[in-house]
Structure 1
Amino acid sequence: MCPTRLARIDSFLQSRYIDTGKLPHAHLVVARGGQVVHRSLLGQARLATADAPALPIAEDSLTRIYSMTKPITSVAFMMLVEEGKVALEDPVHRFIPGWKNLGVYVSGAPGMWMTKPTEAPMRMVDLLRHTAGLTYGFQNRTNVDAAYRSGKVEPFAQKEGLQGFIDALGKVPLEFSPGTAWNYSVATDVLGYLVEVISGQKFEDFLQQRIFGPLGMVDTAFHVSEDKLHRFTECYTIGGDGKLAAAVQGWPTFKTAPAAPSGGGGLVSTMADYLRFCELLRRGGELDGVRLLGPKTLRLMRSNHLPGQKDLNDVSVSMFAESIYAGVGFGLGFAMTTDVAKTGLAGSLGEYWWGGMASTAFWIDPVEDLSVVFFTQLIPSSLYPIRRELRTLVNAAIVDSKA
């Protein structure tokens, strides 16, 4: 890695995003071959207010990772696949019997749905690759996602636990027949519930005992304990005056244990913790003598599983994703590059990644032995092209490419 080119990253982040007030902070770590080669630590964990001074971002700051929870949940599920307790081709109704006759939306509204039968049953692989026919309420596309909003069909809004979430979801029809299209959705939250049912452990206990504890991810959890609140970053949106404003009303606080832990977006973590998770993936499922998955399982996860091995441009009906679409496929928990030229980014074939609603991101390049994690706290993640810019800057610093 060229140190001069790596130095561009801090200058870019400081002048483009921190000094201009576009982002509250920027925490970036670039590791190659398991060694950290660059770290950016810029800005404030909490901006100054009339009541308190600014709090600088620190290496151990706690961050809402939102949808970067999804790869962790997907790994948890694949651990159960490796144990023979479930298979990718299993119908979801094997473990959620009430979903056996879920239909596809034709017309109507809650209480008056008209549906048609699915062309094929929803399978476990559909949940992992977001082809299950589920959606998110914030998509604002159809009567189905409107029903998600009105019924608060998401774990963050559930007071009756994950079972309450599954029961509520089973009352709404699918947007399309499973396996026929791609739509970013609550599918990974369903996987969290399935991990609980199949393992016989509470979902949060499974993650702690089987992933976080063994990997030494000491700060990753579904809420921030009182003794760690002083390290918790503030999350921001853009206010009416065009400046950063704390995202308070309507957003989860992450300060109390949730009734329904969200496998799709509920975790808080630190840079050190999430980098360890990324390094586990980069190394084929093993880190520091701890093996969670076999290398062949990881290769399966980072293969393109979209119908017909098409890219997201061809099969997505989603209004939103933490990813570009062109030249990008989707595997079992994350997106990956299937055609470098189509992405318009300097990168590697098979590079895989995902991001979170508060503009966080990670990517792993198996060709260049690269793990990169970026933390900030700005909602929505689509406001600035920061992820594309960072991938360009980091990849430009690779001067002994293995490709």
Structure 2
Amino acid sequence: MSDPIAAALQTYVDAGAMAGAATLIWRQGRELQSCAVGWADREARRPLARDTLFRIASMTKPVTSVAAMTMLQDGLFYLDDPITTVAPEFGDMRVLRAPDAPLGDSVPAERPITFGDLLTHRSGLTYGGLHPGPLSDAYAQALGGDIDSHVAPDDWIAGLAALPLIAQPGAAFNYGCSTDLLGFLLARLEGATLGETLARRVFRPLGMTDTGFLVPAAQRHRRASLYGWTADGVIEPRQTASAGSSLPERPDDMAYESGGQGLWSTLDDYLTFARLFVEGGGPLLTPASYELMVRNRLSEPQRQAATMMGVPTFLPGHGFGLGLATVLDPATASFTRGKGGVGTVSWPGAFGGWWQADPTDGSVMLFLTHNVLDLELAAQGIGLGVYGAIGEFHALGVELKA
């Protein structure tokens, strides 16, 4: 292969570290690189293509956050507004004395959750799977699957509000379903579903014709199949994501839409979205809104204390703005949260999707794959080869941009 990135990624496919991946590098109005390597469906021998549709998991969060910023611009809420103005269900919250404490071992919340808390993951909400024990079981029972849930939005909101928080609102960064709740509040404010809200405020204005919570039947042949690994480290097809968070086929009439991790998208659609962050927010965001999003809002103690699965969420070079990570110090930043000049933003997805937008050189880098991460296997180092592929893609891409 003449493309060194394609050649490098092919070695990961050949080694069984991933079924395939699609990449794109764009800088200052020009595409520098793109490739699709490996299989969209290995068993059917269907290769990946430029227009393959991927589940983008938590790469959904920045999209929902941008939609929120357009509503902030319209004066529909302010960052310091309590969410009880839209969701009175959260009017009497309690906080666990410890994340693994019994659900009844709690104290009153010291203040209401605000919209700003949701956008910075300082709401005290979490993902149940990150905290095995009583809280994990309660989350699963009340909320259903993280991506495809049988629980209707209003019931989901009520169920979440009935559970205790793991930290006082505003006190700490705890990754979790804050963005899912934010999405449902945006839908209430808009008087529409979240899918309709995102379409009106983000997808249609940007021309993102292939992005949504449901893939139309006529386009389902373009979807990438999911892959995971056996306990022996052998790649295998999966019908659902980990812990039953998704269904093999989402029902057309499912009301629940995950603003934190539910979207499907393509290389070209997500490039269109990511360009917002190298073009000062235009055409959706004002310069002031753009600056709000990319500026770090976490205190130093909050950045240092943030962990996921026992691993630090942020290296010293990273902070977190409104819905996405931001580079504070290029020398100590890692590609996992974006590594570029100051103000480079990123937020990856659990299926191996990764991107960054660097305003200092006007570049966007995108990597999409379809890799199911099992927490127990990942703790043993199984299924992590895709992150080596992302690291190699980033390194080769930096050379290409130079």
1:297 and 2:297 matched: no
Counterpart of 1:264?
260
Change (3 A) 1:165 1:104: same
Gaps of 5+ in 1: none
2:24 pairs, out of 26, 29, 34, with: 29
| Equivalent pair of 2:35/2:50 in contact (CA under 8 Å) | no
Q: Does 1:373 align with 2:371?
A: no
Question: How many Å separate the matches in 2 of 1:373 and 1:324?
Answer: 20
1:327-338 matches, cutoff 5 A:
327-338=317-328
**CA displacement, residues 100-148 of structure 1 (integer Å, 9 cap, x when unaligned):** 2101112799996132122332111110011110010221355323421
Cα distance in structure 2, aligned partners of 1:23 and 1:339:
31
Aligned equivalent of 2:381: none
Amino acid at match of 1:232: R
Most deviating of 146-155 and 185-194: 146-155
Residues 208-263 of structure 1: CA deviation (Å, up to 9, x unaligned): 12221221111111111110111111011012442221121533235433321000
| Segment of structure 1 superposing worse, 366-375 or 194-203 | 194-203
Structure 1 residues 303 and 108: alpha-carbon distance in aligned structure 2, compared to 1, 3 A threshold: closer
State the secondary structure of the residue aligned to 1:28.
strand
Residue in structure 2 matching 1:318, options 303, 308, 322:
308
Distance 1:28 1:112, change over 3 A: closer
**Following superposition of structure 1 onto structure 2, how do residues 55-70 of structure 1 map, counting pairs within 5 Å?**
55-70=46-61
> Structure 1 residues 108, 255: closer, same or farther in 2, change over 3 A?
closer
Distance 2:122 2:84 in 1: 16
Q: Is this contact kept in 2: 1:302–1:352, CA < 8 A? A: yes
- 1:259 to 1:320, Cα distance in 2 relative to 1, 3 A: farther
1:131-150 alignment runs, 5 A limit: 131-141=122-132, 143-150=134-141
Q: In the alignment, residue 230 of structure 2 is paired with which amino acid? A: G
1:200 aligns with 2:191: yes
Counterpart residue identity of residue 21, structure 2: A
Residue in 2 that maps onto 1:180: 171
Answer yes or no: is the 8 Å Cα contact 1:351–1:365 preserved in 2. Answer: yes
**8 Å CA contact 2:148, 2:258 repeated in 1:** no
Alpha carbons of structure 1 residues 310 and 39: separation in structure 2 relative to 1, 3 Å: farther
One-letter amino acid of the structure 2 residue matched with residue 121 of structure 1: P
Candidates 367, 389, 392, aligned match of 1:389:
392
**Cα deviation digits, residues 265-289 of structure 1 (max 9, x gap):** 1111111111111113321222xxx
CA contact (8 A) 2:210 2:265 kept: yes
Question: Structure 1 residue 158: deviation in Å?
Answer: 3.4
Moved more, 178-187 or 340-349: 340-349
CA gap of 1:309–1:242, structure 2 versus 1, over 3 A, is closer
Task: Report deviation, 1:161.
Answer: 1.8
Distance in 2 of aligned mates of 1:110 and 1:181:
18
Distance across 2 between alignment mates of 1:156 and 1:375: 18
Partner of 2:157: 166
**SS state of the match for residue 182, structure 2?**
helix
Q: 1:43-122 to 2 correspondence within 5 Å?
A: 43-48=38-43, 53-106=44-97, 113-122=104-113
CA drift at 1:99: 0.7
1:358 aligned counterpart, secondary structure: coil
Letter in 2 for 1:299: E
CA contact (8 A) 1:311 1:330 kept: no
Alignment TM-score, normalising by the size of structure 1 = 0.88
SS in 2 for 1:355: coil
Alignment of 1:231-250 (within 5 A): 231-249=222-240, 250=244
Please say which of residues 157-166 and 107-116 is displaced more in the overlay. Answer: 107-116
C-alpha spacing 1:164/1:157, structure 2 compared with 1 (3 Å) = farther
* C-alpha separation in 1, matches of 2:102 and 2:329: 44
- Contact 1:302/1:350, CA 8 A, preserved across alignment: yes
Paired residue type of 2:26: A
In structure 1, what residue type is equivalent to 2:192? Q
CA-to-aligned-CA distance 1:301-335 (integer Å, 9 cap, x gap) = 011011x25573x1314327896533211110111
Q: Conserved in 2, the CA contact under 8 Å of 1:148 and 1:154?
A: no
Residues 126, 132 of structure 1: 8 Å contact kept: yes
Deviates more, 1:84-93 or 1:133-142: 133-142
Give yes or no for contact 1:154–1:186 (8 Å, CA) kept in 2: no
Partner SS for 1:283: coil
Task: Quote the Cα distance in structure 2 between the aligned partners of 1:134 and 1:108.
Answer: 11
- 1:18 maps to amino acid: V
In structure 2, the residue matched to 1:363 is 356
Q: Provide the C-alpha distance between the structure 2 equivalents of 1:99 and 1:88, rounded to a whole number of angstroms.
A: 16
d(CA) in 2 for partners of 1:349 and 1:72? 21
Partner SS, residue 397 of structure 1: helix
1:19 counterpart residue number: 14
1:282 paired with 2:278, answer: yes
Instruction: Provide the rounded CA distance (Å) in 1 between the counterparts of 2:90 and 2:122.
Output: 16
Per the alignment, in what secondary structure is the counterpart of residue 229 of structure 1?
A: helix
Per-residue deviation, 1:23: 0.8
Equivalences for 1:347-358 in 2 at 5 Å?
347-358=340-351
Pairing partner for 1:341 from 319, 331, 350: 331
With over 3 angstroms needed to count, the CA separation of the structure-2 counterparts of 1:18 and 1:155, relative to structure 1, is closer
Return the alpha-carbon distance in structure 1 between the equivalents of residues 222 and 325 of structure 2: 31
